[in-house]
Amino acid sequence: MPYDQLLAGRVRHALEGRTDVVEKAMFGGLTFMVSGNMCCGVNRDDLIIRLAARTTTEELNSPHARLWDFMPSRPMPGIFAIRAQGSANQSSVDRWVALALKHATSLPAKITEAKSASPPRAKPPTSKRKKVK
């Protein structure tokens, strides 16, 4: 199912100016990675945010926030969906993305190193002795 392009644009705007953001297609939507860590995303018309695993819905103090139920059989602690009404304008998206960004930047960066140009290692020698039956 496609995701809300307008909402994705609001998220891009909220993350504007950062050089450590990568967009990835994920979960049938769009995910924004910050320094290699999932920060936020868009799935259908929901804004998805990643916060600390111990965060509760009550702490978010919004009728538009809920635990993300993408995979009901495998709960994802700290992942929340913000309904369209809670992300309908840039200021509300900025608020949610700021929370997710605070969490993402508190995590160690996951930097993918470029593959080295060194030659591949040789295979270990194999024995040419015949097996005794």
Asked if the structure places residue 57 within a domain, the reply is: yes
Asked if the structure places residue 90 within a domain, the reply is: yes
Q: The CATH number of the domain where 13 resides is what?
A: 3.30.1460
| 72 burial via Cβ count (<10 Å: 0-12, 13-18, 19+) | exposed
Asked if the structure places residue 121 within a domain, the reply is: no
For all residues of the chain together, what is the average pLDDT?
86
Domain count, the chain: 1
Asked if the structure places residue 84 within a domain, the reply is: yes
Asked if the structure places residue 127 within a domain, the reply is: no
Asked if the structure places residue 69 within a domain, the reply is: yes
- Higher pLDDT: 110 or 130? It is 110
Q: Is the pTM of this model over 0.85?
A: no
Residue 36 Cα distances to 9, 23, 79, 133, angstroms = 20, 10, 16, 54
Token couple for 4: 């809300």
pLDDT digits (tens, 9 = 90+) for 60-84: 999 999 999 877 777 789 999 999 9
Domain with 89 in it: 5-106
Asked if the structure places residue 21 within a domain, the reply is: yes
Asked if the structure places residue 126 within a domain, the reply is: no
| Closest to 82 in 3D by CA, of 22, 14, 130 | 14
Supply the pLDDT for residue 3.
Answer: 93
Supply the pLDDT for residue 128.
Answer: 58
Pairing of strands 21-26, 46-50: unpaired
Cα 120 from Cα 98, distance rounded (Å): 44
